[in-house]
Structure 1
Amino acid sequence: MQDVPKAEQKAELRRTLLKARQSMSVRDWREKSDRICSHLQTSVLFAQAKTILAYFSFRQEPDLSPLFANTKYRWGFPRCVGKSLHWHIWEPNDTLQFGAYGISEPHANAPSIDPAEVDLILVPSVACDYQGYRLGYGGGYYDRLLNSPEWFAKPTIGIVFDLAYLPQLPIEPWDKPLKTVFSETGLTGKG
């Protein structure tokens, strides 16, 4: 696989892992998602946060929605605008809309979140490796976000199922490792 360009390696790995994730039964998906939520709630990074950026589950990503009812936290969710993520406050009674990729997102008029207010980012991932590197969906949204000066130092937790927690991913110069990784078996990363 050394001769295959990294972009092709990533694309093939992405296809394989998304297929494996989507073949999981709804019951397994729910149980594993609930275990991830339980582990997150006992995490120091999570417990100490006030404003947390998260995501709405898409294509059988780990579902963190049971956490969103906890009003101890201020929750932020992204909207895809051009090539960037714009973050908005969201509360359980707020309505959502479907964005460009069919992903649920807050309305454009929802209050924005200033990066200075953010304590933690829960990062959706196709896969993560033991060094904290992440394989996303290929759009580069989180790569651009996490490499920008106002977001660079924010604590990050990659969220994956064990089937997508791998020894090593192909990485590019712009890839930035996440602080830690959580799966249904708990804290698995560097954290």
Structure 2
Amino acid sequence: MHSMPSQGSAKQDWRKWARSTRKATPDVSDDIIQHLAQWIYDQDIQHVLTYKAFGSEISLERLPKLLPDVSFYVPKAETEPEPHMTIHPWETATLRHALGMLQPPPGTPEEDPSVLQLVLIPGLAFDHQGYRLGYGMGHYDRFLSGLSRDCKLVGVTSDALLVKKLPHEQHDLPVQWIVTEYGLTETNSGF
């Protein structure tokens, strides 16, 4: 396992550390799913964008089964005409993307992102201010900037990948909550 980078380190050093740490961390998906299911129920949230995990990401596959009355959606990463995301019904994600995750196949009808009340966001790591270390493609950053400020943003990670401070850019949008195996906590994002 790589040692944690110093505060001034480049994002690629943080990504190496996060990938190594994530591979060495036990799977905490079940604990996170339980916390999220209860929180979504308590908040009376009806429209949730989640994701299909790949590699060693936290898997939320069981979450829609626990909340059958909630509408779940899945993103599709697009590269043309520029990198962006579209959203689709959860059950349509059946095609393996080149990066390894399941996505909706071409031609799947899109949903309007304005219905979303909650977005569950994967990341390599998160910090206490709510900033996310992503994979470097910018899909989530562009997508999140177009959502209503009423839409709740929750970063999904293990406690081992929640750090004091990550490098971030001016355009990066912090999440308001982080969920780990220990539950949900509000970030210091200033929302």
What TM bracket, shorter-length normalisation?
0.7 to 0.9
SS of the residue 1:78 aligns to: strand
1:136-155 alignment runs, 5 A limit = 136-148=134-146, 151-153=147-149, 154-155=151-152
The one-letter code matched in structure 1 to 2:159 is D
Rounded to whole Å, the distance in 2 between the matches of 1:131 and 1:95 is 31
User: TM-score w.r.t. structure 1 length?
Assistant: 0.85
The one-letter code matched in structure 2 to 1:37 is I
Compared CA separation, residues 95 and 120, structure 1 to 2 (3 A) = closer
Compared CA separation, residues 95 and 129, structure 1 to 2 (3 A) = closer
The one-letter code matched in structure 1 to 2:89 is I
1:89 paired residue number: 89
Residue 16 of structure 1: CA displacement?
0.9
Select 1:43's aligned residue among 39, 43, 52: 39
Compared CA separation, residues 168 and 47, structure 1 to 2 (3 A) = same
Rounded to whole Å, the distance in 2 between the matches of 1:171 and 1:76 is 27
Residue 165 of structure 1: CA displacement?
0.5
Compared CA separation, residues 46 and 161, structure 1 to 2 (3 A) = farther
> 8 Å contact 2:47–2:70 — kept in the other structure?
yes
Percent identity of paired positions between Structure 1 and Structure 2: 30
Compared CA separation, residues 181 and 52, structure 1 to 2 (3 A) = same
2:124 paired residue number: 126
> 8 Å contact 1:131–1:189 — kept in the other structure?
no
User: TM-score w.r.t. structure 2 length?
Assistant: 0.85
Compared CA separation, residues 46 and 101, structure 1 to 2 (3 A) = farther
> 8 Å contact 1:45–1:120 — kept in the other structure?
no
Residue 108 of structure 1: CA displacement?
2.7
2:60 paired residue number: 64
Compared CA separation, residues 78 and 168, structure 1 to 2 (3 A) = same
Residue 190 of structure 1: CA displacement?
2.5
1:103-122 alignment runs, 5 A limit = 103-122=101-120
Rounded to whole Å, the distance in 2 between the matches of 1:57 and 1:86 is 17
Select 1:184's aligned residue among 162, 181, 185: 181
Rounded to whole Å, the distance in 2 between the matches of 1:159 and 1:78 is 15
1:14 and 2:12 correspond: no
Gaps in structure 1 of 5+ consecutive residues: none
Compared CA separation, residues 115 and 95, structure 1 to 2 (3 A) = closer
Rounded to whole Å, the distance in 1 between the matches of 2:98 and 2:153 is 25
SS of the residue 1:42 aligns to: helix
1:161 and 2:158 correspond: yes
Rounded to whole Å, the distance in 2 between the matches of 1:172 and 1:104 is 28
The superposition leaves residues 77-97 of structure 1 with CA deviations (integer Å, 9 ceiling, x where unpaired) of: 111111111110123xx5600
The one-letter code matched in structure 1 to 2:11 is K
Residue 147 of structure 1: CA displacement?
1.8
The superposition leaves residues 21-68 of structure 1 with CA deviations (integer Å, 9 ceiling, x where unpaired) of: 1233xxx31xx1100011111215874211110011112111111112
SS of the residue 1:143 aligns to: helix
Rounded to whole Å, the distance in 2 between the matches of 1:46 and 1:57 is 25
Rounded to whole Å, the distance in 2 between the matches of 1:152 and 1:36 is 25
